[in-house]
Amino acid sequence: MSGGHNPPTDLGSWMARRAASSPERPALTFGGETDSYAQLLDKIDRLAAELRAGGVSAGDRVGYLGLNHPLFLHTMFAAARLGAIFVPLNFRLSAAELAFIVGDAEIHTLIADADRARVIDPVRGETPLRRVITHTDDVPGWEALDALLTSREPLAEADAVGAGTEDVAVIMYTSGTTGRPKGAMLTHGNLFWNNVNALLSFDILSDDTTLVCAPLFHIGGLNVTTLLTLQKGGRVVLMPGFDPGAALALIAEHRVTTMFGVPAMFLFMSQHPSFGEADLSSVRLLMCGGAPVPERLMKLYNGLGVPFAQGYGLTETAPLALVTRPEETVRKTGSAGRTTTMLSDVRLLAPDGTPVPVGERGEICVRGPQVMAGYWRNPSATDNVIDADGWFHTGDVGVCDPDGYVYVVDRVKDMVISGGENVYPAEVESVLYDHPSVAEVAIIGTPDTRWGEAVTAVVVLASGASLTLDELREFARERLAGYKLPLRLEIVDVLPRNPAGKVLKYELRERFAPE
């Protein structure tokens, strides 16, 4: 046995090796066109060569802003081939929100689709961007990618910088409870070991075809089935965004076997007029995250022979922390999974750091090779969530049953999950406080059949003032992404508070939960 040589675990290497070992297999289908692994690698390496020619080197940050598109994946892998760091941006954010992240990450080169290029263009001068490239040639002041790549030779294999396991591969921004997003640094090792852990937890096959319609800038859209399937040599069918009718049609057309989504996506598919006639016979597994699958929805799909697996994870855990396999999902409805996976552990801890007894509430903490390296340029925030023993403190509260299954019961941070998007109350509250009619405001999530949770503003009015939901939404629209705007407005005389003055949000949630 020869010792000491580390296997290539970086994104760039495993894509190159997959293309070398199965060049002719279909890799990526988008808009009716399919690239084989060899064709996919050729596009990645042409883009890598172009990025290098534009001054990107190891450690530099390369951003992508746009709807789901093959170019998102090309950019991520091309950055990895150069040892650069990929920064995916949430296309729903406002110009001001984007400018903050671009500045914080000090993105060198940004690739954007034309619509998003126009969003960020007005604030481009406030950012450290050195180069901006768009898909097409109709945005003044932006380079057109197609023209750049036609004459560009692919990166020579010798030019690719093999990144180390501990090197940062992706900085994925997650909304901060303080309103400022934080960049979770995910290393090549985090992504690699997350995938190994996932493959040992539920089966992804080399002949799987996965439908990807959740946004790739989210860890769920990127790393539950997408990277896993590409690593195994399967096929990714990519949609620009989620559309229930189109998803059902693509499942039948491409004989899709797996799909990741949040419960709202599977609900909208089931409510679509074509659902009754939809051919789901090829589907082997639906992976669900973001919230538990409602029992009624699970039974509906199970009745068609389509099983659910559930997962619980976070951006900071790349994402897999808990997983419930299909055969367990029915028996343990609502559970996020067992505390032990093959490569990582979950514990429920009391505030003093000791494990809580079975049946009692504790903070869900995760330890394993998929836990992030920390927050980008924010050591104090990192120290707040990763303790001395390497446990990542999620801020979510769980209860464990006698069989070791965890149920997520509350959020330490009162986060609202609306349509699969995380909405942090503090960020929304700080904007709404500026409205002249608002004396006090608390943002809570209330159950909503369509979105899972509705962002609900509970407002104490300023003396003599009046306020409508439409006025409040219009006021905040400039500063907040659409999904963060309140869907409900409740006017109250006073907000309930504890002796320390903190608003008692659980009281508000109980009061305003629909009957």
Strands (E), 401-502: 405-411, 416-418, 421-423, 438-448, 452-461, 488-491
Q: Which residues pair with 48 in a beta bridge?
A: none
CB atoms within 10 A of CB 208: 20
Tell which wins on pLDDT, 306 or 263.
Answer: 306
Which domains are present in the chain? 15-25+37-163 (3.40.50.980), 416-512 (3.30.300.30)
The band of 427, judged by pLDDT with boundaries at 50, 70 and 90, is: confident
Residue 229's SS3 state is helix
Element (H, E) at 61: strand 61-65
pLDDT of 87 strictly over 60? yes
pLDDT value of residue 411:
67
pLDDT of 37 strictly over 90? yes
Residue 41's SS3 state is helix
Q: How confident is the prediction for the chain on average, in pLDDT? A: 92
CA nearest 321: which of 264, 394, 263?
A: 394
CA nearest 42: which of 206, 153, 158, 159?
A: 153
Q: What are all long-range contacts of 23-29, with beta carbons under 8 Å and residues at least 24 apart? A: 25/233, 25/235, 26/235, 27/230, 27/235, 27/236, 28/70, 28/73, 28/230, 28/235, 28/236, 28/238, 29/235, 29/236, 29/237, 29/238, 29/254
Name the token pair of 358. 């079975």
Distance CA 128, CA 142 (A): 15
The band of 177, judged by pLDDT with boundaries at 50, 70 and 90, is: very low
pTM recorded for the entire structure? 0.86
pLDDT of 419 strictly over 90? no
pLDDT value of residue 291:
73
Q: pLDDT, tens digit, for every residue of 138-171?
A: 899 999 999 999 989 999 876 788 889 999 999 9
Mean pLDDT lowest for which of 65-79, 221-235, 268-282, 415-429? 415-429
pLDDT of 1 strictly over 80? no
pLDDT value of residue 36:
98
